Structure 1
Amino acid sequence: MTDAATGEILTPSQLNTLARSLLEDAFPLVLVEGELGNVSRPASGHLYFTLKDARAQVRCAMFRPKSQWLRFQPREGLKVLARGRLTLYEARGDYQLILDSLEEAGEGALRRAFEALKAKLQAEGLFDASRKRPLPPYVRRLGVVTSPSGAAVRDVLSVLARRFPLLEVEILPVPVQGEGAAAQIVAMLRRAAACGRYDALLLTRGGGSLEDLQAFNDEALARAVAASPVPVVAAVGHETDFSLAEFAADLRAPTPSAAAELLVPDSGELLARLRTLQRRVAALGLHRLQQAAQRTDRAALRLQALRP
């Protein structure tokens, strides 16, 4: 085979190397939406599949450890949004996508909207550390804004009961996902703040997809959390999940259980501290009594010296 421009004869290896270079230069980074097919995850932990639509398909590869960070299980027929670099596998002459990220197709639009709204609120100063309120040293009554039937509320109540059973806890029930959930959470936060019953509020729910957590990325809810006169602790989803409500809250906890631990002291540690203080007070009282007795003895001696 002769290169028409230079007259150079190329080997298959040279041709594929040249084609790879042209592909990678022309397509440094691409976003492709399509349907998964031929999904394979061998013992190496890498992920291989084709991304297809009704008319064409392209081979894709996602290597470890990125393939192990996925927050969903890739399966045949699932529609996804892939982000990666177009390249060519020189040994076979096949061009393919080497992926940096992979998410369910619906989450792509949600993620972009999330990032845009986050940037807007951050620019307004809504997340600034300077505007966050400190928690009271000892919370006496806590309002927990969450679903009354979810796993999160069970975890929170279990930790609170173990660490500090004297705390008064009231569950303020709200839906945590679905249409209208954000508006109902906003209304509950406002009622809780207006009633003046609570020293702090905990806004929480368990894990889920970005779509499941969408209520907590609502702009009105983020603003309501930031405007609350009562300190708000937020724990939404798993440790790797972040929501706008958490950015706006006075304190963010990685999980519902961790939030409960941050809100109250450990009763055993508190009792030990009280006993230490009790011993210090007793020792100080005894010391002062001894000093007073010594002063009394000296005064009596002076009186006796004046009136022998």
Structure 2
Amino acid sequence: MHSPDDFSDDAGGQPPRHILTPSTLNRLVRDLLEDALPLVWIEGELSNVARPSSGHLYFTLKDSGAQVRCAMFKPKSTWLRFKPADGMHVLARARVGLYEPRGEFQLVVEHLEPAGEGALQREFERLKAQLDAEGLFAQERKRALPRFARRIGVITSPTGAAIRDVLSVLARRWPLVEVDVLPVPVQGREAPPAIVSMLRKASASGRYDVLLLTRGGGSLEDLWAFNDEQVARAIHASKVPVVSAVGHEIDFSISDFVADLRAPTPSAAAELLVPDILAQRRHLDQWRQRITAIQERRLHANVQRIDHLLARLQAQRPQARLARDRERLMQLRRRLLAARTAQLTQKAVRLDRLQARLLAQHPRQRLVMMRQQLEQHALHMRRIIEHKLERERLTLQQTARALHAVSPLATLERGYAILFDADGKVLRSAQNLAVDTALRARLADGEIPLRVAKK
């Protein structure tokens, strides 16, 4: 590295000890710039934006008093999430350098973003980190939502699409809930103080079981009212649970982190706030059936227990015991008599059997016995046939009575009639009958033509 004195004239007007070339001078200037300003953030307006076929991006960054040429080389130029255009206000992170072929001062851009969005995003991250450090996002402080909210306060714009979606879902899922629309602006400078004021009033009123803070989607600037610090602290200070549903599913705001529950969309928030009435009805029907079955089982068990106790009580009465003893005595007496009778009968039967055996040995007696047996068999056969015929006759009568009971003619004999239309079809309803329609009435003994006079 050369010192400045190496390139200066001496007092006597002698030529310098070293003579520089333009390339050397450019390298010296480049080294000085890179050492003094290694990396800077710069904000300004784009102009002369150009993107040649090489894929690099060239532009000028200016303000009201100066401008500087900039270059953003590939592949970083292809990673941009927006399309740079003349007049756009941007924020760039760049290295200060020198374009040596022309000896021109320039910036080599490493990162480029829209100035407003980048500033808002940084402010969002700063406030998020601050409130998180204070414990406003702590999971243990978040409260559970009431299972059956009776009254809900919806803090939102009364003319936006979000409130229409919320009211539609609430009316469909749980018509019993009362909903108050608490109107506030949802974007602009007047939105944060209005939201804070409404949160405080709704919380202090003691009227609501839960509050819903919501709005539809939009850009980061549109949703910025819900990233306000005072709004976040008002949500944290609310005495009732707060649900935040800001923007679309991919949008996150500070209010989402502070609230007791974050919903991805306004419609999703409405579904989280109330149960489904159809599911609750099915659940209640199931419980009603279970309770009815339990009551019937208990009633049946109690009736059986009472009957059992009543039987035991009856069994302990003196009259019942005397009756049992008397019945037992009678049984024993009958058994004794039966035993004596059986013994005598057994002897008589044995005697008769022996006598019969003796008589059976006589040929004439055997012929008589065989004739008697033949007559008995014939009589038995005749009785079997008569009994079978009688059973068949009774079955036939029962079948005839059953057929007669379900016969339409039997119904007609009891004073009823059957109506037929003009096509011969049985008329089952009086609806859709025009005046002057021709009908037929079938009675037990014939038919009668009819006509509808009036309805």
Normalising by the residue count of structure 1, what TM-score does the alignment of the two structures yield?
0.76
Larger helix fraction of residues: 2
Residue in structure 2 matched with residue 211 of structure 1 by the alignment:
221
The answer on 1:202 being equivalent to 2:215 is no
CA offsets 1:6-37 (integer angstroms, 9 cap, x no match) = xxxxxxxxxxxxxxxxx9xx97x875645566
CA offsets 1:143-183 (integer angstroms, 9 cap, x no match) = 00000011111111122122222211110000111112111
CA offsets 1:106-155 (integer angstroms, 9 cap, x no match) = 12222212211211111111111111111111111100000001111111
Give the match's secondary structure for 2:211.
strand
Larger radius of gyration: 2
Residue in structure 2 matched with residue 284 of structure 1 by the alignment:
294
Residue in structure 2 matched with residue 58 of structure 1 by the alignment:
71
Shift of 1:77: 3.4
Q: Which moved more, 1:144-153 or 1:107-116?
A: 107-116
CA offsets 1:43-71 (integer angstroms, 9 cap, x no match) = xxxx975453244132455789966xx4x
The number of residues matched between the two structures is 268
Residue in structure 1 matched with residue 266 of structure 2 by the alignment:
256
Residue in structure 2 matched with residue 181 of structure 1 by the alignment:
191
Identical aligned residues as a percent: 56
Unmatched 5+ stretches in structure 2: 1-33, 97-106, 321-455
Q: Which moved more, 1:58-67 or 1:279-288?
A: 58-67
Over the aligned positions, Cα root-mean-square deviation in angstroms equals 3.2
CA offsets 1:162-217 (integer angstroms, 9 cap, x no match) = 22222111100001111121111111111111111110000011122222222111
Q: Which moved more, 1:193-202 or 1:297-306?
A: 297-306
Q: CA contact under 8 A between 1:145 and 1:185: conserved in structure 2?
A: yes
Taking the TM superposition and a 5 Å limit, the aligned residue runs for 1:1-308 are 33=43, 35=45, 49-54=57-62, 55=67, 56-59=69-72, 70=81, 75-81=85-91, 103-307=113-317, 308=320
Larger strand fraction of residues: 1
Q: Aligned partner of 1:266: which letter?
A: D
Q: Partners in 2 of 1:244 and 1:122 — Cα distance?
A: 10
Q: CA contact under 8 A between 2:49 and 2:60: conserved in structure 1?
A: no
Unmatched 5+ stretches in structure 1: 1-22, 87-94
Q: Which moved more, 1:53-62 or 1:126-135?
A: 53-62
Q: Partners in 2 of 1:221 and 1:126 — Cα distance?
A: 12
Going from structure 1 to structure 2, the CA distance change for 1:132 and 1:48 (only over 3 Å counts) comes to farther
Q: CA contact under 8 A between 1:39 and 1:74: conserved in structure 2?
A: no
Q: CA contact under 8 A between 2:216 and 2:246: conserved in structure 1?
A: yes
Q: Aligned partner of 1:58: which letter?
A: A
Q: Partners in 2 of 1:262 and 1:65 — Cα distance?
A: 42
Q: Which moved more, 1:160-169 or 1:135-144?
A: 160-169
- Higher RCO structure (Cα 8 Å, ≥6 apart): 1
Going from structure 1 to structure 2, the CA distance change for 1:298 and 1:75 (only over 3 Å counts) comes to farther
Q: Aligned partner of 2:124: which letter?
A: F
Going from structure 1 to structure 2, the CA distance change for 1:165 and 1:82 (only over 3 Å counts) comes to farther
Going from structure 1 to structure 2, the CA distance change for 1:64 and 1:283 (only over 3 Å counts) comes to farther
Q: Partners in 1 of 2:136 and 2:185 — Cα distance?
A: 25
Going from structure 1 to structure 2, the CA distance change for 1:57 and 1:154 (only over 3 Å counts) comes to same
Q: Aligned partner of 1:247: which letter?
A: F
Q: Partners in 2 of 1:150 and 1:203 — Cα distance?
A: 13
Q: Aligned partner of 1:246: which letter?
A: D
Normalising by the residue count of structure 2, what TM-score does the alignment of the two structures yield?
0.53
Q: Partners in 1 of 2:249 and 2:87 — Cα distance?
A: 29
Going from structure 1 to structure 2, the CA distance change for 1:294 and 1:80 (only over 3 Å counts) comes to farther
